[in-house]
């Protein structure tokens, strides 16, 4: 088994065990909400993410023969923890209903199962998100390379127009992330912050007597953030997994590597930087 897939396997295992726990808690005598009995895990998960970031030694992208390391183990772990957690949260959130979405589960057992699975999603999501956030604070340049440039909007329109075949445009040499991805990144951050802050209020309501206005404000904020997250998620999955041109990057989210040829063609700016850095390193070593 390749070492690169370990983060994905570990997370899948964690989600599987968590889901079994959710089912067991729902079926137990008298039923139970994990948000009530295991609330502390919701607050532990972010700190575990920060701790993990403190213990992680990141690897920078580099060219290795005919392939390029794009996503090190930490990047894959934080991506899949955030992504799989989000997927579970969205699925169970839609099942529970919010804003204009009617509730799909009708009986109490169904609602508790959805809520307990939502709990598992919250823990995994928070771990992944805080692991990413702390890693980003440790290495601020990883945050900067995600931020859009002044041309981001026009480049995004051109990029998606080109992808959909309705525009002809020669893109300037792209960096590690497309300008369009950088725009989506802003939406993902805003949606995550909204979901987390309003979600914390909703969990705290299980523990202490909060003012009604605060709880009542958290619910619509959670719903609006969920809609933003849903839009981002659907677009992200489509452009990163469904379109054939993105498949090499999707593969690198499991293995860590993209083909050198792909990096050279699609991320020319990034590849040039890596090449320059490589020759500098080689020069120093020589």
**Nearer to other proteins by C-beta: 49 or 148?**
49
Tell me the closest approach of the beta carbon of residue 168 to other proteins, in angstroms. Answer: 39
> Which listed range, 143-151, 199-207, 237-245, 253-261, lies at the site for other proteins (CB under 8 A)?
199-207
Contacts 24+ apart (CB under 8 A), 222-226: 222/98, 222/194, 222/195, 222/198, 223/98, 223/99, 224/99, 224/194, 225/190, 225/191, 225/192, 225/193, 225/194, 225/195, 225/198, 226/89, 226/90, 226/93, 226/98, 226/99, 226/191, 226/195
Q: Does 280 bind other proteins (CB under 8 A)?
A: no
Spatial separation of the C-alpha atoms in residues 78 and 9, rounded to whole Å: 13
Q: Which of 14, 19, 21, 44 binds other proteins (CB under 8 A)?
A: 44
Spatial separation of the C-alpha atoms in residues 128 and 115, rounded to whole Å: 20
Spatial separation of the C-alpha atoms in residues 149 and 19, rounded to whole Å: 41
Q: Does 265 bind other proteins (CB under 8 A)?
A: no
Tell me the closest approach of the beta carbon of residue 274 to other proteins, in angstroms. Answer: 11
Task: State the CB neighbour count (10 A cutoff) for residue 190.
Answer: 14
Q: Helix, strand or coil for residue 146?
A: coil
Q: Which of 7, 46, 148, 194 binds other proteins (CB under 8 A)?
A: 46
Q: Does 166 bind other proteins (CB under 8 A)?
A: no
109 to 148, contacts with other proteins by CB under 8 A? 111-112, 115, 134, 137-139, 141
CA distances from 28 to 15, 21, 33, 42, 112 (A): 20, 10, 10, 21, 11
Spatial separation of the C-alpha atoms in residues 158 and 174, rounded to whole Å: 13
Q: Which of 1, 55, 166, 286 binds other proteins (CB under 8 A)?
A: 55
Q: Does 50 bind other proteins (CB under 8 A)?
A: yes
Tell me the closest approach of the beta carbon of residue 91 to other proteins, in angstroms. Answer: 17
Task: Select from 78, 74, 50 the least CA-distant residue to 61.
Answer: 74
> Which listed range, 38-46, 78-86, 182-190, 256-264, lies at the site for other proteins (CB under 8 A)?
38-46
**Nearer to other proteins by C-beta: 97 or 187?**
97
Tell me the closest approach of the beta carbon of residue 216 to other proteins, in angstroms. Answer: 4
Q: Does 28 bind other proteins (CB under 8 A)?
A: no
Task: Name residues whose C-beta falls within 8 Å of residue 206's C-beta, 6 or more positions apart in sequence.
Answer: 33, 35, 36, 39
Q: Contact residues for other proteins (CB under 8 A)?
A: 31, 33, 35-36, 40, 43-44, 46-60, 62, 64, 96-98, 102-103, 108, 111-112, 115, 134, 137-139, 141, 202, 205-206, 209, 212-213, 215-216, 219, 281
């Amino acid at each position: 088994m390749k070492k690169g897939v370990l983060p994905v396997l570990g997370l899948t295992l964690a989600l599987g065990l968590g889901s079994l726990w959710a089912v067991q808690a729902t079926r137990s005598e008298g039923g139970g909400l994990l948000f009530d009995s295991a609330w502390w895990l919701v607050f532990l998960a972010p700190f575990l993410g920060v701790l993990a970031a403190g213990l992680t030694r990141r690897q920078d992208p580099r060219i290795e023969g005919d392939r390029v390391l794009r996503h090190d183990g930490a990047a894959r772990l934080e991506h899949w923890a955030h992504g799989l957690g989000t997927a579970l949260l969205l699925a169970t959130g839609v099942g529970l209903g919010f804003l204009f979405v009617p509730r799909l589960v009708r009986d109490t057992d169904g609602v508790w199962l959805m809520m307990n699975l939502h709990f598992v999603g919250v823990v995994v999501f928070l771990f992944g998100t805080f692991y990413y956030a702390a890693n980003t604070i440790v290495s601020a340049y990883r945050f900067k390379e995600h931020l859009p440039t002044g041309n981001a909007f026009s480049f995004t329109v051109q990029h998606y127009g080109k992808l959909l075949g309705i525009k002809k445009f020669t893109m300037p040499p792209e960096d590690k992330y497309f300008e369009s991805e950088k725009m989506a990144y802003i939406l993902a951050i805003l949606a995550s912050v909204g979901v987390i802050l309003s979600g914390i209020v909703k969990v705290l309501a299980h523990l202490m007597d909060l003012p009604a206005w605060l709880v009542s404000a958290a619910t619509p904020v959670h719903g609006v953030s969920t809609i933003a997250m849903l839009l981002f998620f659907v677009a992200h999955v489509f452009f990163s997994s469904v379109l054939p041109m993105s498949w090499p990057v999707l593969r690198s989210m499991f293995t860590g590597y993209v083909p050198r040829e792909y990096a050279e063609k699609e991320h020319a700016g990034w590849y040039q930087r890596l090449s320059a850095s490589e020759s500098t390193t080689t020069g120093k070593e020589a």
